[in-house]
Structure 1
Amino acid sequence: MTDRPVPRIVAVVVTFNRLALLQRLVARLRETESLAEILVVDNASTDGTGEWLAAQPEPVTAVRLTENRGGAGGFHVGTRAAYDAGADLVWLMDDDGVPEPDCLKVLLSHWDTDGGYDFWGPAVLAEQDPTRLCFPIRLPGRATVVHRMSEVEAAARDGVIPDVVIPFNGVLVTRELVERIGTPREEFFIWGDDVEYLWRARRAGARTGTVVAARFLHPATDDLGTPMAFGRTTYNHSPSDLKHYCMARNNLVNLRDYRGWPAALAFVAKTAWFYTFTRPSPARLVISATAMYAGLRGDFTGHRRYLRG
């Protein structure tokens, strides 16, 4: 890495009603060298988060939203605020994950305008079992997904898996990239906003990768990557109707916009198979169809019916 001035790095954390987890994360970020600011976007929490944030000294700052705008709205607001505050690098993360103490330092070793990365992040490991990935990934040149960290380490080149990154879980984004592509798509509410931002970055020519020596712990969700079609593929099933609605709507829109209609129609067929044969659920088929139709019409309001008051 060439010598460079010390960058202004702003960590952007989006939170909603998870005060204990937020406190754990903020404590870790306070211990992290090189951070200029810890900017927390509070999605109108009702569990004391706002009061706790108001009492926090620098470098913690808070933006309190008047309504829950989801992760997508939170990252949209937070990325813009960090950019307006002069950030050279924006470090994006949810409130329920936590970086290892040296995570940022290791990531920064791969920041270099002469051949470095624009949108890069750590290996995201299951907090319950750090030998496993929290989110299964497909390694470059492979047809199947992998679940174990050992497989990722074995596949790395110079400590990096190029063109693979799990966004919004400790990912760094450069100021220059934000200037080129803007901020995350706020109307998605949850699910798929991170993938859309990554695919938008790649379309703009961003250099992406996972730095395997940088580690970020995140609670694993067993239903993510549920096997289907006799184990030949997986489906992102969630027991939450809200999450499923947003996933079905936003994923179809992302596939249509970035991968084309064949990929979008394949996702429709995959969803129909999963809730017809893998985990039969007529109710989920109805939710899926409703969500997908709304997305194709550009209606991003339907998820509100699943929000608890």
Structure 2
Amino acid sequence: MKRVEVVVLNWNGWRDTLVCLASLQRLSYPNFGLIVVDNGSTDGSQDQIEARFPAIKVLQTGANLGFGGGCNAGIRRALEQGADYVWLINSDTTVDADALTELVHVADEQAQAGAVGSVLYELDRPEHVQLWGGGKVQLWSGLSRHQLMPASLDFISGASMLLRREAIEQVGLFDDQTFFMYWEDSDLGFRLRQAGWLLAVAERSHVWHKLSASLGKGSPLLDLYFTQSGVRFLRRYAPVASVSVLVMVARMLLKRLLMGDVGRVKAVFKGYLGA
């Protein structure tokens, strides 16, 4: 049976992380380890996690390295420990007991699958599908959409992503130098597909996810990072990057202007300038 290392990234969110870890303790898959990475939290997260789960020694980055950077620290540790697969699971999730078993089952059946995703549901509406594995990116418009039903995918969501060791070793980790937060999973999905790997979804792997728990939905900081990373992504992959960037930024600015949210307008503009 393949060895899986489960990587959970925490940043100033130990309450959510404790709930996530409790659900992971109930996994039916028998051969997995647990790596908790703390991204330089300032709320006492490491002490809280280690007090509740004494068997876990938190891997401390010492600074906020962003989503990709924090996950990369966990992935490196997982590979050092001989993992065949690495499962990235968000700290603001709870998982079904068979979630990992189903992911591994699909990965074992589909040898060309570099990454396998779960079906994510809204935490506060448990029957409502939030995301079917991942999403698609319209390169001309810069529009990234979550897939809600079976279809081909451009990327697997980093909220629940099983990565094959051989795929990671071929294409590399998240590009944490380019993407501090958001779009790093899209970039990895594009790199995997360019290298010939497939993206798959384990339909019976169920995860419940609290959307935008780290920054908060509608946060100006979310807009800043999303815009910055989106512009960088389009400059890398869009056929005519200048057109795609213009369309994406204009759409985001217009939407926030119509909402009358000046703070978010400024955040989008700042993200564009910082890209």
Fold-level similarity (TM above 0.5):
yes
Q: For residue 118 of structure 1, report the CA deviation from its aligned partner.
A: 1.4
Alignment of 1:1-309 (within 5 A): 6-32=1-27, 33-55=29-51, 56-58=53-55, 60-112=56-108, 115-135=111-131, 152=149, 156=150, 161-163=151-153, 166-187=156-177, 188-220=179-211, 238-260=217-239, 261=241, 262-277=243-258, 279-295=259-275
- Identity between Structure 1 and Structure 2 (%): 23
Counterpart CA distance in 1 for 2:64 and 2:26 is: 29
For the aligned residue pairs, the C-alpha RMSD in angstroms reads: 2.9
**Could you list the per-position Cα deviations for residues 155-206 of structure 1 after superposition, in whole angstroms to 9, with x for gaps in the alignment?**
x4xxxx4436542222100001110111112243322222222222222222
For the Cα contact (< 8 Å) 2:106–2:201, is it kept in 1? no
**Could you list the per-position Cα deviations for residues 2-51 of structure 1 after superposition, in whole angstroms to 9, with x for gaps in the alignment?**
xxxx1110000000122222111112212222343100001122333212
For the Cα contact (< 8 Å) 1:72–1:186, is it kept in 2? yes
**Could you list the per-position Cα deviations for residues 105-128 of structure 1 after superposition, in whole angstroms to 9, with x for gaps in the alignment?**
111221237645211111111011
Q: For residue 80 of structure 1, report the CA deviation from its aligned partner.
A: 1.6
Q: For residue 252 of structure 1, report the CA deviation from its aligned partner.
A: 1.0
Partner of 1:231: none
- Name the CA shift for 1:219/1:275 in 2 (closer, same or farther; >3 Å): same
Q: For residue 88 of structure 1, report the CA deviation from its aligned partner.
A: 0.8
Counterpart CA distance in 1 for 2:156 and 2:196 is: 17
SS in 2 for 1:130: coil
Q: For residue 242 of structure 1, report the CA deviation from its aligned partner.
A: 1.5
Counterpart CA distance in 2 for 1:90 and 1:272 is: 37
Gaps of 5+ in 1: 1-5, 223-236, 296-309
- Name the CA shift for 1:35/1:292 in 2 (closer, same or farther; >3 Å): farther
Residue identity opposite 1:274 in structure 2: K
Partner of 2:140: none
For the Cα contact (< 8 Å) 1:12–1:75, is it kept in 2? yes
SS in 1 for 2:106: coil
Counterpart CA distance in 2 for 1:202 and 1:274 is: 32
For the Cα contact (< 8 Å) 1:8–1:35, is it kept in 2? yes
Work out which structure has the larger RCO, using CA pairs closer than 8 Å and 6 or more positions apart in sequence. Answer: 2
For the Cα contact (< 8 Å) 1:7–1:89, is it kept in 2? yes
SS in 1 for 2:35: strand
